[in-house]
């Protein structure tokens, strides 16, 4: 019987892991998307779209699917889903692993202003009108309605109505290259950048471009997440799952 794995997606690591496991006959995998992105790129693996209905719904799903392992590969800022995963795993006894790339760290030449949340990021822009480039996503834009004096260029996967009087949306999907980011920031005469500390290579180029142009970056630090076993790389997650599957099979052989 194939070892059943459910992956909570939202990152490139989750997609890569699901596609790797889908090619292994020893595993049965489902990649779960929250469904916030309209232009979903289907993975080369079985997947589902939509929420579970909180912790009780996730528990029901794990039991119904006879899940042996749960991998939390959500975005570092999807704190509620990570909390739900930890609670559901603890209550069902399903093995849980988190895949999370390390946060970006400032280097020489960076002009970061680190803040704890989006409300603080809006305040950090100050009173003087600025041209702001942001890639925080549509879920977080409401916080900047407290600072309507700025001109915002908001990059997101899908177009949306930001509800800001002086805002434009640039619909684009990464990865992004340094030269393109340099040209974008210069063309739009950007004064300051707002970013979540996602830690991904796919979106780091905007920070390198800001460094080159000596632009300040308001960096929103990651929220606190449950303390669970965590790895940074897809290869490490795959090794963890294979070892878990081997132990599971050994118990079945003995019984």
Q: Which token pair is 141? A: 């834009």
Neighbour-count burial of 38, counting CB atoms closer than 10 A to its CB (0-12 exposed, 13-18 middle, 19+ buried): exposed
What is the pTM for the complete model shown? Answer: 0.91
pLDDT, one tens digit per residue, over 104-119 is: 999 999 999 999 999 9
The alpha carbon of residue 25 and the mean position of all alpha carbons in its chain are separated, in whole angstroms, by 28
Q: How many residues does the chain have?
A: 255
User: What is the pLDDT, as a whole number, of residue 35?
Assistant: 75
Alpha helices by DSSP H, 39-78: 54-64
Neighbour-count burial of 190, counting CB atoms closer than 10 A to its CB (0-12 exposed, 13-18 middle, 19+ buried): buried
Q: Which token pair is 180? A: 């393109």
**For residues 192-210, b (16+ Cβ closer than 10 Å) or e, as one string?**
bbbbbbbbbeebbbbbbbb
Examine domains 3-102+224-254 and 112-220 and report if their fold is the same: yes
Q: How far is 225 from 86, CA to CA, in rounded Å?
A: 9
Q: How far is 75 from 198, CA to CA, in rounded Å?
A: 7
User: For domain 112-220, which CATH number applies: 3.40.50.300, 3.40.50.720, 3.40.50.970, 3.40.640.10?
Assistant: 3.40.50.720
**Residue with token string 């209550």:** 91
Fold of 3-102+224-254: Rossmann fold (3.40.50)
| H or E element at residue 151 | strand 151-156
User: What is the pLDDT, as a whole number, of residue 238?
Assistant: 96
Question: Which has more confidence, 138 or 35?
Answer: 138
User: What is the pLDDT, as a whole number, of residue 255?
Assistant: 61
User: What is the pLDDT, as a whole number, of residue 196?
Assistant: 96
**What are the residue ranges spanned by the domains of the chain?**
3-102+224-254, 112-220
Angle between helices 79-92 and 54-64 (to 10 degrees): 50
pLDDT, one tens digit per residue, over 58-107 is: 999 999 999 999 999 999 999 999 999 999 999 999 999 999 999 999 99
* pLDDT over threshold 70, residue 144: yes
pLDDT, one tens digit per residue, over 19-69 is: 999 989 999 999 999 877 766 788 999 999 999 999 999 999 999 999 999
């Amino acid at each position: 019987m194939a070892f059943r794995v459910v992956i909570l997606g939202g990152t490139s690591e989750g997609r890569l892991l699901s596609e790797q496991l889908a090619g292994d006959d020893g595993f049965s995998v489902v990649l779960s998307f929250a469904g916030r992105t309209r232009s979903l790129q289907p993975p080369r693996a079985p997947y589902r779209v939509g929420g579970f209905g909180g912790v009780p719904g996730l528990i029901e799903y794990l039991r119904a699917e006879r899940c042996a392992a749960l991998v939390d590969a959500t975005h570092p800022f999807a704190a509620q889903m990570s909390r739900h995963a930890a609670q559901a795993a603890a209550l069902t006894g399903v093995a849980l692993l988190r895949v999370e790339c390390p946060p970006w760290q400032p280097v020489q030449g960076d002009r970061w202003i680190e803040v704890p949340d989006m409300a603080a990021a809006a305040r950090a822009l100050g009173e003087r009108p600025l041209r702001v480039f942001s890639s925080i996503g549509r879920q977080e834009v409401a916080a900047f309605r407290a600072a309507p004096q700025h001109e915002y260029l908001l990059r997101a996967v899908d177009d949306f109505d930001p509800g800001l009087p002086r805002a434009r949306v640039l619909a684009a999907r990464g990865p992004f290259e340094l030269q393109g980011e340099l040209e974008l920031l210069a063309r739009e005469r950007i004064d300051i950048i707002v970013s979540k500390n996602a830690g991904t290579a796919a979106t780091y180029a905007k920070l390198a471009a800001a460094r080159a142009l000596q632009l300040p970056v308001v960096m929103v630090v990651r929220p606190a997440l449950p303390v669970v076993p965590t790895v940074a790389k897809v290869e490490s997650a795959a090794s963890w799952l294979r070892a878990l599957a081997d132990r599971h099979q050994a118990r079945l052989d003995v019984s």
